[in-house]
Amino acid sequence: MSDFIFGIRPVLEAIRAGKEIDKVLVRQNMTGDLSVELMTELRRNKLNIQYVPAEKLDKITNRNHQGVVAYISPVSYANLENVVMSAFDEGKSPIVVILDGITDVRNFGAIARTCECAGVTAIVIPETNSARITEDAIKTSAGALYNIPVCREKNLVDTVLFLQQSGFKVYAATEKAEKNVYDEDFSSPTALIMGAEDVGVSKPMQKRADKLIKIPMYGKTESLNVSVSTAVLVYEVVRQQCANNKNDVK
């Protein structure tokens, strides 16, 4: 099943029907009354618009796209504030995983599978420079993407600030950190920032985080796959929080 639609009128109708749209590719210098109507609707709904040459659209579909292609998400995105507040209301210590620049859909799917199995409260992705929720991502996640809130945010730095103001400690994972993950206390609400394997967590996100942490590496290979790293960190947070819960009961 295709995860995109094309043509000005079909895209307009999808927006007005409340479909979850990841991004819209629009031909550069597009004109016409219907085009103006489309752009007004895209901006009113604050959708992710990317202006591209006609050749790129032609590669996506050889049918009459009329200069516009919209990618539809197979799942609905959640509101981070609502998800976090709901967790607090239920007496939970939330865990949030923030994916900073992770564009590989299989890594995304594998991370989602781990997070859902571990009971992570939500996954946060940016509106741009992020893997989309495609059929491949859902398949790799073993369907977990249907069962865990995914929140799409315009500005991840602002997202971190919101979490900090809500009582979270925010950790950025980087091999340059001095702090070992196993020496850290994760008893409070926790957010983990995971970066792409080639560039890692971005500098602005590292600066905004409360602490930098790393996974100890003892072999000759310098790093782990990001989905494996996420699993290591998430389950250390879960282990500590489970232990704290047992101590609280005693």
Same domain, 136 and 209: yes
Q: Which two tokens stand for residue 191?
A: 């957010």
pLDDT for the residue numbered 247: 54
Q: Name the domain boundary from 40, 72, 104.
A: 72
pLDDT at position 128 is 85
Residue 201 belongs to a domain with what CATH number? 3.40.1280.10
Both structure tokens of 87: 């967790």
Q: Which of 97, 71, 67, 69 is nearest to 84 (CA)?
A: 97
Are 211 and 88 members of one domain? Answer: yes
The structure's pTM equals: 0.85
Listed residues 22, 47, 72: the one ending a domain: 72
Same domain for 52 and 119, yes or no, is: no
pLDDT given for residue 248 in this prediction: 54
Convert the pLDDT of each residue in 121-130 to its tens digit. Answer: 999 999 888 9
Q: Is residue 99 within a helix (H) or strand (E), and if so which, with residue range?
A: strand 95-100
**Domain match, 123 and 60 both:** no
pLDDT at position 249: 40
pLDDT of residue 48: 86
Q: Which residues of the chain have pLDDT under 50?
A: 1-2, 249-250
Q: Which residue segment(s) compose the domain that 64 sits in?
A: 4-72
Answer yes or no: do 21 and 109 share one domain.
Answer: no
Residue 105 shares a structural domain with residue 121: yes
Give all strands (DSSP E) within 53-141, no chain letters: 68-72, 95-100, 122-126
* Residue 246, pLDDT score: 62
* Same domain for 97 and 23: no
Residues 119 and 180 in one domain: yes
Predicted pLDDT at 250: 39
Domain final residue, candidates 49, 72, 95: 72
- The rounded distance, in Å, linking the Cα atoms of 138 and 124 is 16
3-state secondary structure of 191: strand
| 45-58: pLDDT as tens digits | 988 899 999 999 99
Work out how many domains the chain is built from and give that number. 2
CA dihedral of residues 168, 74, 20, 52 (deg, nearest 10): 100
46 and 84 assigned to the same domain: no
- Do 224 and 125 share a structural domain? yes
Please give the structure tokens belonging to residue 146.
Answer: 């249907």
Pair type for strands 21-27 and 4-6: unpaired
Assigned token pair, 58: 């032609």
CATH number, position 21:
3.30.1330.30
Looking at the fold, whether 87 and 27 belong to one and the same domain comes out as: no
Residue 4 has phi, psi (to 5 degrees) of -140, 155
Same domain? For 63 and 87 the reply is no
How many angstroms separate the CA atoms of 38 and 12, rounded? 6
